[in-house]
Structure 1
Amino acid sequence: MKNYQLRRLSDQPILKTSDVKPSVDGFNVLGAFNPAACLFGDEVILLLRVAEAPALEAGRINIPLIEEQDGVLGLTVKQFDEPSDPYDPRVVPLDGKVYLTSLSHLRIARSSDGIHFTIDDEPFLFPARMDESFGVEDARITFLDGKYWITYTAVSEHGPGVGLAVTTDFKTVERIGMILPPPNKDVALFPQKINGKYMLLHRPMVSDIGKPSIWLAESEDGIHWGNHRFLFGGRGLPDNPFAWEGGKIGAGPEPILTDEGWLLCYHGADPTHAYSLALALLDKNDPATVLDRSDAPLLTPELAWEREGFFPNVVFSNGWVQWPDGRIWVYYGAADSGVGLAELVRA
């Protein structure tokens, strides 16, 4: 993939956390990042991941989540003494359980030029099921069969799984449910059937055996998935040239069909959890065949707002758009705190 480059279109974020209003009284927005993206009529639609949490209290930690009370699901806040030991700002162990420190939902941002966005005040997809009780995160959008399919990470105490919702107008949305159980995430649907089958990319999360990897699956109906196959994994150890994707790896936005094959943007993380972006090329008739792959990342955290934020040293894309003239714009989350924009160009 040496003939491609990712060039930033701005040295500043196009969206910042401070641009987004909280959806819950008494909550603060901790991050607005990792947007799904698509063209919808004459607009660019982003589905921002918005992470919110109650205001901080000295010596206390407030955990927002969805709970069932008297047969009704609703938002609640659990309070704990703040741990004395340092902890990940995103995840914290408390009383024998692991919680997220914020609750994420999906929020629409709209733009006529792809750069200047108006952000809805209300969530588009808010956690509403027990398998989403810790939040809904990092969506992808694929236009398929006349509607927009939205895959997203649904998080609960049982781990991250993959939810599916559909919309035709970005006003109303229908939840289909969980299509891949925990632990799994980073699902990108192909925008057309291949050999008569729906196809997607996903990321099973490994334990002691195995390494991070991207897998392929197929379906007759887009809901029930099988024939899961390993596609490719992160390469290397900290002392070799591929350390940038040796820690984590996952698919980005929906693949784009080119003359050469299916173009895939993916992320890799090194052992220090610094995230970068790269490309792979899959055979157009058999996407289980990898034709080419980046030897080095195309975009790494370099600017201050990509290196410093709620979770530092991250560039992460799960949304891009292809304009009618062929330009490909890549929207990426930066340090879990804002959104940057780059253009994918041939070198």
Structure 2
Amino acid sequence: MTVIRSKQNPIISPQDVSASNNEWEVIGVFNAGVTKYKDEVILMLRVAERPINDNPDIYLTPFYEASSNRMTIRTIAKTPECDFSDVRVIKTPEKNYLTSISHLRVARSSDGIRFKIDDKPTILPGTMYESYGIEDPRITRIEDTYYMTYSAISEYGICTGMMTTKDFVTFYREGNVFHPDNKDVVLFPRQVRGKYYALHRPSCSHYGKPEMWIAESSDLRQWGNHRHLANVREGYWDDGRIGASAIPFEIEEGWLEIYHGANKDNHYCLGALLLDKNEPWKVIARSETPFMQPEEVFEVEGFFGNVIFPCGVLVENDIVKIYYGASDTCVGYAETSLDHIRANLQVQSANRPTMR
């Protein structure tokens, strides 16, 4: 079995989601966290929207104003002093802004393909650290509580926030668990030798690169003992950046982490890491080539093309069910076998990636 995409793809598109109000439009629904709750598949969708704008000479950039607890719109003229080369970001001499703002919205399904999407936002930006939006949730169930990490975007940088829920109706903000700039945080679903573990991706400094780290905690809120886990690989498919995608899950050989990697041209694909079951900071094996990459039109073309980006998978009867964002526009669904991913792995020498 290779990768089999759903014939219904994309399974969720922007036209399937209602905007927050009549003066806004949804431009993307993607990068959904996924889990099972009772008999349903739950997707926590990232919904990106923006004010409707009929004036070609300006941008309308939305943001959440925490002091007044309301959404606000800033007008930015299209002048030579501003950089509009990235469709996601407006760079002005003063600061950077996003061209849209994201909130989170629950979708439910009994068959994992056809989803009923909530009519209104489930979670809107709600703190000063979320003024540019909340993005890319990951959901880990630990006992009877669901822990959701997400990127909180603001002028202060990208923090990782956390919320908890037991029913996907009531959510509790637990604060920022990783300081800026840090994202792609996923929590392991159980303790390992008395510690909780999380994968994360700090921002790169003058010396470092956007690579994967691992941290540990006794309470899921205070994190320390940060260790470098996996690096980008020059000349490989993931030589630009890497980050955790799915919640790590256990197989016989260890912890399997499905991660995203991008090359220097921002072409996003999927690979896997096999981590030691008792010492998860050790990489046993890693994908030499991606086991899934953008191929279909909706994966290649869109708001930000050539991107497949999952924030979670479900594993049932050795089948890996992948819900992924495509081109920062819509949600796709695909299945593959554990054996297919295993065959894609290569044992690493001294727990470090082989370099060309």
TM-score by length of 2: 0.92
Query: Which residue matches 1:291?
Result: 284
Counterpart CA distance in 2 for 1:303 and 1:310 is 15
Counterpart CA distance in 1 for 2:254 and 2:320 is 16
The gaps in structure 2 that reach 5 residues or longer are 341-356
RMSD: 1.3
Query: Which residue matches 2:174?
Result: 176
Query: Which residue matches 2:164?
Result: 166
Which one-letter code corresponds to 1:82 in the other structure?
K
Deviation at 1:125, TM superposition (A): 1.5
Counterpart CA distance in 2 for 1:22 and 1:181 is 30
Equivalent pairs, count: 336
Residue in structure 2 matching 1:344, options 322, 336, 339 = 336
> CA, structure 1 residues 221+159, in 2 after alignment: closer, same or farther (shift >3 Å)?
same
Deviation at 1:95, TM superposition (A): 4.5
The answer to whether the 8 Å contact 1:188/1:253 transfers is: yes
Aligned sequence identity (%)? 45
TM-score by length of 1: 0.94
> CA, structure 1 residues 282+328, in 2 after alignment: closer, same or farther (shift >3 Å)?
same
Which one-letter code corresponds to 1:23 in the other structure?
S
Question: CA offsets per residue over residues 141-165 of structure 1, 9 Å max, x none?
Answer: 0001320000000000111110000
Query: Which residue matches 2:30?
Result: 33
Counterpart CA distance in 2 for 1:7 and 1:207 is 39
Residue in structure 2 matching 1:22, options 19, 22, 25 = 19
The answer to whether the 8 Å contact 1:283/1:290 transfers is: yes
Residue in structure 2 matching 1:76, options 51, 72, 93 = 72
> CA, structure 1 residues 97+173, in 2 after alignment: closer, same or farther (shift >3 Å)?
same
The answer to whether the 8 Å contact 1:256/1:264 transfers is: yes
Query: Which residue matches 1:253?
Result: 246
Question: CA offsets per residue over residues 202-249 of structure 1, 9 Å max, x none?
Answer: 00010321122100000111100000000001111xxx3x1x211111
The answer to whether the 8 Å contact 2:84/2:90 transfers is: no
Deviation at 1:181, TM superposition (A): 0.8
Say which SS state the counterpart of residue 123 (structure 2) adopts: coil
Say which SS state the counterpart of residue 135 (structure 2) adopts: strand
Deviation at 1:73, TM superposition (A): 2.3
Query: Which residue matches 2:143?
Result: 145
Question: CA offsets per residue over residues 144-201 of structure 1, 9 Å max, x none?
Answer: 1320000000000111110000000001100001010110000000000111111100
Query: Which residue matches 1:218?
Result: 216
Structure-to-structure mapping, 1:167-246, within 5 angstroms? 167-236=165-234, 240=235, 242=236, 244-246=237-239
Counterpart CA distance in 2 for 1:5 and 1:214 is 26
Counterpart CA distance in 1 for 2:193 and 2:42 is 30
